[in-house]
Chains A and B, each alone.
Chain A
Amino acid sequence: MDAFTQSFGLALSLIAQADATLWHIVGLSLRVSGTACALGAGIGLLLGAWLAVARFRGQAVVVGALNTLLALPSVVVGLMVYLLLSRTGPLGSWGILFTPTAMVIAQSILVVPLIAALARQLVVDALREGGDELAAMGAGRLLSALLLLAHERLAVLTVLLTAFGRAVAEVGAVMIVGGNIDGVTRVMTTAIALETSKGDLPLALALGLLLLGVVALINLAVGLTQRRGAAGPRLAGGLAG
């Protein structure tokens, strides 16, 4: 328990000191994972919507494969991307190994299955409610799927937050493709891993608490936006009777 209290105090003093290196690390974590989620959303939402309405032989197999990829270990993704981006690999000439770009790519690959699988389920469920009506109004299958994603945007937001959590908390992929280079590709999770292996456990825990704190702030901000969006109709509903 002593390690925890020590870490908590350490975390607070780290924030108070506003150490530039630390904030750079935090900022990089957010930028890498945020960009990866944005990219993953673009691909994953489209993929999920398409899979919800596509009819082709082997569709069940593709969906099964997608759901299996939910369990893709981050270190495996890191390894695959490393092999792709290594100078001896097919994309070596891009020269982006050990840069934040490589980290974004790896984390995007990690979150796309998550976003696609959840989006697909969202659309399938929503189609049961409104698929007929949208079709009657003249919407094609894929368009209906996309409209339903816009319709269920609060649920989609939760999916994206889940993806962000997965990305910002993972260490396996960013460690391998980023190399944990001080000042360049060191993010919160790799910094925690480093401090742990150096034996500085209170600092590692403190950084962990800091990471959770930052994510909590983000969730708080998103929750407030959701609450504001939802409060409107509830008020109006009361008046309309």
Chain B
Amino acid sequence: MDLNKRHWLRRALNLVLAATSLAGAGSALAQANFIVMASTTSTEQSGLFAHLLPVFKAATGTEVRVVALGTGQALDMGRRGDADIVFVHDQTAEQKFVADGWGLKRLPVMYNDFVLIGPAADPAKTRGKDITVALQKVAAAGAPFISRGDKSGTHAAELRYWKAAGTDIAAAKPAGETPNAGRPAGYKECGCGMGPALNIASSTGAYVLADRGTWLNFKNRGDLAVLVEGDTRLFNQYGVMVVNPARHPHVKRALAQGFADWVVSPAGQAAIASYKIGGEPLFFPNAGQ
């Protein structure tokens, strides 16, 4: 009787799996020729992947399935083995990822830049080319500032700029004290992606640090404008890493390496450079540099 029950359970389970698979039949499950890439929301929302990945697929036949999260979550996904390859923009975190043995070699791919966005009227008088000075003015004026607060690459960069400007945001929140102790008066964290942060800034007239890609694609600008750009410290470097098959044997190493090699090759780099919005390129390929 016990054996029969197990047999029926397994049959039922197979039936269930088959039924649930039918839901996606034809589109995705048919082919195993794909890799899962963990990347960031800002990269996806910039539209780069919609431009780049079809070129890669045409060249190699491999489909790249992008799951877009914050940088921290993307790296976590790599650590869990739920992705075959990771493509993010936080050099320190990436180097740690490789040093801890989760990823194979880190390859620099491209960079884009951050810009300081704020109300066109610019009450804190931040307009200029120096991010550090601008942030100091925001703090001094007590102007509203939106931080993503989500462990993303953008968030990490923002914290670095604040530190350079004299305010250590991360340290300015001792345990148990009110959330804004030691922080600039108008500083608020939303724990959200770039788009939602821009939405909030747009409706509340706040300053926000954004990547140029998301900004160029953003449609709900209100009276927001670019106030600080061109500071070399605002450049944002992207790196790609294949997840280490020694840690996760199921990783599709060959296919993932195929993407990593292609994106730093002349063909891949040219594809990146050719992605433009309104005639402006968003990303600047710099592999091998």
Q: Which residues on the B side are within 8 Å of A185 (C-beta)?
A: 24, 28
Checking A87, A101, A179, A196 against B248 with a beta-carbon cut-off of 8 angstroms, the contacting residue is A87
* Chain A residues within CB distance 8 Å of chain B: 24, 28, 31-32, 34-36, 38-39, 86-88, 92, 95, 97-101, 103-105, 108, 179-185, 194, 196-201
User: A-facing mask of B61-86, CB < 8 A → 1, else 0?
Assistant: 00001111000000000001110000
* Segment of B92-100, B161-169, B174-182, B195-203 engaged in the interface with chain A: B195-203
Q: Tell whether, in the assembled complex, residue A99 and residue B28 are in contact, meaning their CB atoms are under 8 Å apart.
A: yes
Q: Tell whether, in the assembled complex, residue B217 and residue A198 are in contact, meaning their CB atoms are under 8 Å apart.
A: yes
Q: Tell whether, in the assembled complex, residue B65 and residue A181 are in contact, meaning their CB atoms are under 8 Å apart.
A: yes
Q: Tell whether, in the assembled complex, residue B219 and residue A101 are in contact, meaning their CB atoms are under 8 Å apart.
A: no
Any chain A CB within 8 A of the CB of B22? yes
Checking B20, B24, B50, B198 against A182 with a beta-carbon cut-off of 8 angstroms, the contacting residue is B50
Any chain A CB within 8 A of the CB of B16? yes
A87 to B244, CA, bound (A): 14
Q: Tell whether, in the assembled complex, residue A199 and residue B20 are in contact, meaning their CB atoms are under 8 Å apart.
A: no
Any chain A CB within 8 A of the CB of B36? yes
Q: Tell whether, in the assembled complex, residue A198 and residue B195 are in contact, meaning their CB atoms are under 8 Å apart.
A: yes
Q: Which residues on the A side are within 8 Å of B194 (C-beta)?
A: 197
A199 to B214, CA, bound (A): 10
Q: Tell whether, in the assembled complex, residue B36 and residue A199 are in contact, meaning their CB atoms are under 8 Å apart.
A: no
Q: Tell whether, in the assembled complex, residue B45 and residue A197 are in contact, meaning their CB atoms are under 8 Å apart.
A: yes
Q: Which residues on the A side are within 8 Å of B144 (C-beta)?
A: none
Interface residues of B in 215-272 (CB under 8 A from A): 217-221, 248, 250
* Chain B residues within CB distance 8 Å of chain A: 16-17, 19-24, 27-29, 36, 41, 45, 49-50, 65-68, 80-82, 192-196, 198-199, 202, 214, 217-221, 248, 250
Report the minimal beta-carbon distance from B207 to chain A, rounded to whole angstroms: 17
Checking B66, B80, B202 against A86 with a beta-carbon cut-off of 8 angstroms, the contacting residue is B80
Checking B28, B36, B68 against A100 with a beta-carbon cut-off of 8 angstroms, the contacting residue is B28
Q: Tell whether, in the assembled complex, residue B67 and residue A181 are in contact, meaning their CB atoms are under 8 Å apart.
A: yes
A98-B67, A179-B67, A197-B195 as given contacts; A87 in contact with B82, CB under 8 Å:
yes
Q: Tell whether, in the assembled complex, residue B27 and residue A198 are in contact, meaning their CB atoms are under 8 Å apart.
A: no
Q: Tell whether, in the assembled complex, residue A88 and residue B28 are in contact, meaning their CB atoms are under 8 Å apart.
A: no
- Which residue of B is nearest A183, CB measured? B27
Report the minimal beta-carbon distance from B212 to chain A, rounded to whole angstroms: 14
Q: Which residues on the A side are within 8 Å of B250 (C-beta)?
A: 87, 95
Q: Which residues on the B side are within 8 Å of A201 (C-beta)?
A: 219-220
- Which residue of B is nearest A95, CB measured? B250
Report the minimal beta-carbon distance from A228 to chain B, rounded to whole angstroms: 28
Most buried by B among A31, A101, A194: A101
Q: Tell whether, in the assembled complex, residue B20 and residue A198 are in contact, meaning their CB atoms are under 8 Å apart.
A: no
Checking B29, B67, B220 against A199 with a beta-carbon cut-off of 8 angstroms, the contacting residue is B220
- Which residue of A is nearest B67, CB measured? A179
Q: Tell whether, in the assembled complex, residue B23 and residue A104 are in contact, meaning their CB atoms are under 8 Å apart.
A: yes
A86-B80, A88-B80, A199-B220 as given contacts; A182 in contact with B27, CB under 8 Å:
no
CB-defined A-B contacts under 8 Å, sample of 6: A86-B82, A99-B29, A181-B66, A196-B199, A198-B218, A198-B219
A140 to B68, CA, bound (A): 53
A182-B49, A198-B195 as given contacts; A31 in contact with B24, CB under 8 Å:
yes
Most buried by B among A36, A39, A198: A198
A31 to B27, CA, bound (A): 12
Q: Tell whether, in the assembled complex, residue A97 and residue B82 are in contact, meaning their CB atoms are under 8 Å apart.
A: yes
Report the minimal beta-carbon distance from A232 to chain B, rounded to whole angstroms: 32
Checking A87, A97, A180, A184 against B27 with a beta-carbon cut-off of 8 angstroms, the contacting residue is A184
Known: A97-B82, A196-B199. 18 other contacts (CB 8 A): A32-B23, A35-B19, A87-B81, A87-B250, A99-B28, A99-B29, A100-B23, A101-B29, A104-B20, A179-B36, A181-B65, A182-B50, A183-B27, A184-B65, A197-B45, A199-B199, A199-B217, A201-B220
